[in-house]
Amino acid sequence: MNIPAQFLTCLRERLSRPLPGEMAQKSMARIQNYAFSDLIIKNPGHKKSAVMVVLWEENSSLRCLLIQRPEYEGVHSGQVALPGGKQEDYDSDLLATALRETQEEVGFLIPSEYVAGPLSPLYIPVSNFLVQPYIAVLPSKPKLNLNLVEVHACLDFDLSTILNENSRKTKEIQANGMKHETPYFEIEGLVVWGATAMVLSELSAVIKSIISS
């Protein structure tokens, strides 16, 4: 059985229908008493970016790629993230941004036929970015060639991790000079929180809906 091809077909069909969206995202958000649409209206000058959820089959399971940002003077210093970045004027659309940024950061080009489609966009107030996530399902593990200016390290994990409710935890995390009680995924011993956790939360909801259908 070709797991990636079969899953890609199921995923494309599911992504063509209404998505879990904000409800799934906000289960992993630090602040939940607001609507993303209201924040976007209040910040009309927001910047656009895109990230890529990269999946592949390995040892009869599906794996997911994460990166760790280097330490730097910025709000996302050292965080675990998905490959991606800011949309540039020369990008034809946000999918082009996600594909380009993935190639620039981790060194491989994703053929368009492996792109399943988009998840729901989400707004990041601290950096004023509206982020569009996409999902790609590859037939095998990609060969990585890290851009060490933008990526400190990579890790991959079994996708079933985020389906397990025990991986969802809460702790005090320091952000913007203050500590806040924050939900996070514990993945391979790492704390994955913020926008990345929110994207993975919606991905989890999408996969569960495929499994239950």
Please determine, for residue 77, whether its predicted confidence score (pLDDT) is greater than 70: no
Instruction: Give the pLDDT confidence of 115-157 residue by residue, as tens digits.
Output: 999 999 998 888 889 999 999 999 999 999 999 999 999 999 9
The pair phi, psi for residue 26, each rounded to 5°, is -70, -15
Q: Determine the Cα angle at 210 with ends 204 and 213, to 5°.
A: 140
Tell me how far apart the alpha carbons of residues 27 and 20 are, in angstroms, rounded to a whole number.
Answer: 11
> pLDDT tens digits for 52-68?
999 999 998 999 999 99
Residues with Cβ < 8 Å from 104, sequence gap 6 or more?
85, 147, 150
pLDDT(186) > 90: yes
Cα–Cα distance measured from residue 173 to residue 184, given in angstroms and rounded to the nearest whole number: 10
pLDDT higher than threshold 80 for residue 78:
no
Q: Distance of alpha carbon 135 from its chain centroid, rounded? A: 8
Q: What percent of the chain has pLDDT over 70?
A: 94
Per-residue pLDDT for 79 more than 70? Answer: yes
What is the average pLDDT score of the chain? 91
CATH code that applies to domain 3-159+197-212: 3.90.79.10
